[in-house]
Amino acid sequence: MRVADFFCGGGGFSEGFRQAGFEIVFAVDKWEPAVKTYRGNKPGVNVIQDDVIRIANLPDEEFEALVPDSEVIIGSPPCQSFSHSNKSGTADKSIGIQLIEAYLKIVARKKFKQGSCLKYWVLENVPAVKDYIKEEYTAADFELDGDFVLRPHDGASGKYNAKYYGAPTNRERYLCGEFPEPIKTKSNQDVTTLRQVLDSLGDPLRMDDAPITDINYPNLTLESNQVTDQHYIYELAEFEYKTAKRLKQDKGYMGKMSFPENLDKPARTVMATMTASAREAMILGYGVGRYRLPTVRETACMMSFPIDFWFYGESKGVKHTLVGNAVPPKLSYAVAVAIAAAENEPVPKEYIPIQHEQNNEQLQFFNLNGAKFEIRKEQPKKKTAKFKYHIPYLIYSAYRVELTNYHSSFESGAFKWNSEIHYSQGKDKAKVLTPRITKRDIPSVLFVKIESFIHEISRSLPTTNRRFQKLYCMTTEDRKAAERLGPYELLESIRQFIDDTIPKEDQSKEVEVIHGTNLPFAILVGYYTMSRIVNKMQ
């Protein structure tokens, strides 16, 4: 059966169909590295670099001349605007909707034309996209002639998690269209884990003729030095992994994430950008107290790309984007197998090795094997950098104590640092408190310790807000060399002081402070202490 692939990316969606014995006859994407990757791994396919919206609106004669007939159409429109990882899902959806409707228009033009051979079509995207795809589209919606109705959500449409279909990644996606329901091949008890992926590939720095057997395709074995984009290390600097750890495990009310990654579960969703200092950063342990990012090949295996699949990008970042934007081949393979079963078509019993494009000067392959990456050095922040964070790992009854410079006049350079108590989150529940707490609210013995702590720590702090802002903008190493504390060091010191002076069982005990408002004792002490310190810098 023939397959046409729109928004084809590097070819993850069609890779599953190729493995199931389907004939890929056409593919299109707008991004050059994706087109090159597709062409390099599927040399017999007519893959073009073009705009799907333009193609969807071509006159009939041009449209039919460009897009061949096929029994199957697949497509994965770009999902960035629908992803919850994009500004909490608040990004502009209009462009994403245009891309989806362009794909649906192509499906409709092929499905409802006279003599159509199209039997199956699939759209893949993030789960949130479901709310932006209408229940039905008429010919008029697509500005086409006819009285047809396209119903995208019929049949087996729904959420599918790639880990249940053989991919070692906890990647949930929404599939809709006309296709039979794919059969799960894994359960929670036997899903492939991140540890299995890493163990199968071995030490990234070992590049020799030792065999590597693909964890996802047991009959595929290559010599280690033949596995591309695997043999290098990208180690993280201390400031990078500390930032990532803080965001993963102490991000207010967002759930805690493993640091480093939990090796005994499938990999988390592989992102299109392999960042080092973000909450979503995928970080692996690398010896004692050291950390690294996964290689391109490791993430590709997490996504179930076979180890003989090459990614044609001129940088590590481009290659990671090719991987992270893809449909896991094992998931698409499950869909392809279901279609083949419905058509009584045979499926190859073993993995079919990729025949790469050879002797094509336009497909110069850049291999990351042997590449050297220097550990990054922290750079100073811009003078008007903003700051807002709480005393680390100190949240009781939804209260936390924050240090912020958000009340500054950044344009005029009038910096102001404040201590605040924040309660809960969201428009309806969130509150900011700045109660007046005095020594009468604190036991006398503890008050003496607080005063002593403030006196001692003030030696490492400036006397003005402006100078504290300057310290914040310096690198961690520069602050250490100057024997001065910045905001993060101050917060960590206060947290340590609280742990050293208040028994754990007393930290959450509530005490009344204002108008019947009760605060956990550690929150009260943290706020009072930080307020006193900040006020000394006025």
pLDDT in tens, 33-70: 999 999 999 999 999 999 999 999 999 999 999 999 99
Q: Rounded mean pLDDT of 404-417?
A: 96
Query: Which token pair is 107?
Result: 């499906």
Q: Does residue 250 surpass a pLDDT of 90?
A: no
CA distances from 214 to 27, 133, 398 (A): 27, 37, 46
Please tell me the predicted confidence (pLDDT) of residue 88. 41
Please tell me the predicted confidence (pLDDT) of residue 430. 87
296-320 in b/e form (b: 16+ CB < 10 A) is: bbbbbbbbbbbbbbbbbbeebebbb
pLDDT tens digits, 319-328: 999 999 999 9
Contact 296, 368 (CB under 8 A): yes
Please tell me the predicted confidence (pLDDT) of residue 65. 98
Nearest to 198, CA basis, from 300, 46, 53: 300
| Among the ranges given (175-179, 267-271, 277-281), the one the predictor scored with the smallest mean pLDDT | 277-281
Q: DSSP assignment, residue 325?
A: T
- CA 6 to CA 50: how far, in whole Å? 10
- CA 462 to CA 469: how far, in whole Å? 10
Residue 90 contacts by C-beta under 8 Å, 6 or more apart in sequence? none
Instruction: Kindly tell me the burial class for residue 403, based on how many C-beta atoms sit within 10 Å of its own C-beta (0-12, 13-18, 19 or more).
Output: buried
Q: Rounded mean pLDDT of 467-482?
A: 97
Query: Which token pair is 290?
Result: 């050291």
Give the domain ranges of the chain.
2-187+324-342, 194-302, 388-535
Share of the chain above pLDDT 90, in %: 87
Please tell me the predicted confidence (pLDDT) of residue 141. 97
Beta bridge partners of 422: 400, 432
Please tell me the predicted confidence (pLDDT) of residue 526. 98
Contact 267, 169 (CB under 8 A): yes
Kindly report the length of the chain: 538
- CA 284 to CA 287: how far, in whole Å? 10
Q: Rounded mean pLDDT of 238-243?
A: 94
- CA 110 to CA 116: how far, in whole Å? 6
Contact 292, 283 (CB under 8 A): yes
Nearest to 430, CA basis, from 393, 402, 410, 403: 402
The H helix count followed by the E strand count for the chain is 16, 20
User: Would residue 397 be called left, alpha or beta, if left means φ above 0 and alpha means ψ between -120 and 50 degrees?
Assistant: left
- CA 505 to CA 492: how far, in whole Å? 20
Positions annotated as catalytic residues are 79
Confidence of residue 358 (pLDDT cuts 50, 70, 90): confident
Residue 283 contacts by C-beta under 8 Å, 6 or more apart in sequence? 236, 241, 244, 259, 260, 261, 276, 291, 292, 293
Q: DSSP assignment, residue 409?
A: B
Say what the alpha-carbon torsion angle 301, 306, 312, 317 is, to the nearest 10 degrees.
0
Query: Which token pair is 39?
Result: 């062409």
Share of the chain above pLDDT 70, in %: 96
Q: Rounded mean pLDDT of 274-296?
A: 94
Protein fold of 2-187+324-342? Rossmann fold (3.40.50)
Phi–psi pair at 448, nearest 5 degrees: -60, -40
Please tell me the predicted confidence (pLDDT) of residue 516. 67
Instruction: Kindly tell me the burial class for residue 124, based on how many C-beta atoms sit within 10 Å of its own C-beta (0-12, 13-18, 19 or more).
Output: buried
Supply angle C-alpha 172, 176, 177, rounded to 5: 155
Please tell me the predicted confidence (pLDDT) of residue 83. 57
Please tell me the predicted confidence (pLDDT) of residue 428. 76
Nearest to 108, CA basis, from 156, 68, 73: 73
Q: Does residue 424 surpass a pLDDT of 90?
A: no
Q: Rounded mean pLDDT of 274-301?
A: 95
Nearest to 73, CA basis, from 29, 28, 122, 114: 122
Residue 214 contacts by C-beta under 8 Å, 6 or more apart in sequence? 200, 220, 221, 222, 301, 306, 307, 351
Q: Does residue 89 surpass a pLDDT of 70?
A: no
Q: Rounded mean pLDDT of 502-519?
A: 87
Q: Please, what is the average pLDDT of the chain?
A: 94
User: ω before 260 within 30° of 0 (cis)?
Assistant: yes
Query: Which token pair is 350?
Result: 């073993």
191-212 in b/e form (b: 16+ CB < 10 A) is: bbbbebbbebbbebeebeeeeb
